[in-house]
């Protein structure tokens, strides 16, 4: 496989030829590098949260996926200018969305753990893309400030955000039995 050659936009077929070690996301065909690798604090939070979610969903119909897993939000007719993202964590409840190498369409829940290099894209661009893809719930984890922003979909729009501090419990809107001790996520 090759690394992306310098172009203005890339197709789905271009994306499929790139090295797996070179992590990129595509937003309407424009490439965004995912490196350098996330810092240790980010990875610890990701591991803690993935563990909590994996335990909760074990034996249930939904599956938990962690980065790097490709999420293709654009339909096949937009393969010349695709949107392919790699959320930190996603919960997929529709088995028809899962293929061998990619998840198609909006998952039920997405988690992004903010890094300084990608925070604005996660907070604005991706939030809008996830809303458009009808993701039912979106969490933005702020590692240094130790809080989580929670969005849920209502009438095909994200509601006003809820802010959950490290002193509170995070209760999923879509899965109300899913309750996470936020303090434990940030305990490093």
Burial of 110 (0-12, 13-18, 19+ CB in 10 A): buried
Cα–Cα distance between 18 and 33 in angstroms, integer? Answer: 12
| pLDDT of the residue at 1 | 42
Span of 22-26, 86-90, 158-162 with lowest mean pLDDT: 22-26
Of 117-126, 140-149, 175-184, where does mean pLDDT reach its minimum?
117-126
pLDDT exceeds cutoff 60 at 5: no
Query: Which pLDDT does position 162 carry in this prediction?
Result: 97
Over the stretch 75-128, which tens digit does the pLDDT of each residue have?
A: 888 888 889 999 999 999 999 999 998 999 999 999 999 987 778 888 999 999
How far apart (Å, rounded) are the C-alpha atoms in residues 116 and 95?
33
- Which pLDDT value is given to residue 35? 61
Q: Mind listing the pLDDT tens digit for each residue in 49-66?
A: 999 999 999 999 999 999
CATH homologous superfamily for the domain 36-186: tt1808, chain A (3.90.1570.10)
């Amino acid at each position: 496989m090759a690394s992306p050659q310098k172009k203005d936009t890339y197709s789905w077929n271009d994306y499929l030829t790139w090295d797996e070690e070179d992590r990129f996301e595509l937003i309407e065909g424009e490439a965004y590098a995912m490196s350098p690798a996330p810092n240790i604090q980010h990875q610890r939070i990701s591991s803690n949260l993935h563990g909590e979610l994996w335990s909760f969903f074990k034996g249930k119909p939904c599956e938990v996926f962690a980065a790097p897993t490709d999420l293709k939000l654009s339909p096949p007719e937009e393969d010349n200018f695709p949107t392919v993202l790699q959320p930190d964590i996603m919960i997929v409840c529709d088995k028809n969305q899962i293929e061998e190498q990619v998840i198609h369409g909006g998952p039920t829940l997405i988690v992004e753990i903010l890094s300084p290099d990608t925070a604005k894209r996660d907070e604005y661009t991706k939030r809008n893309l996830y809303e458009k893809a009808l993701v039912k719930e979106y969490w933005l984890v702020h590692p240094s400030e130790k809080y989580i922003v929670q969005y849920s979909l209502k009438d095909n729009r994200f509601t006003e955000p809820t802010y959950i501090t490290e002193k509170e419990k995070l209760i999923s809107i879509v899965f109300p039995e899913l309750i996470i001790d936020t303090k434990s996520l940030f305990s490093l």
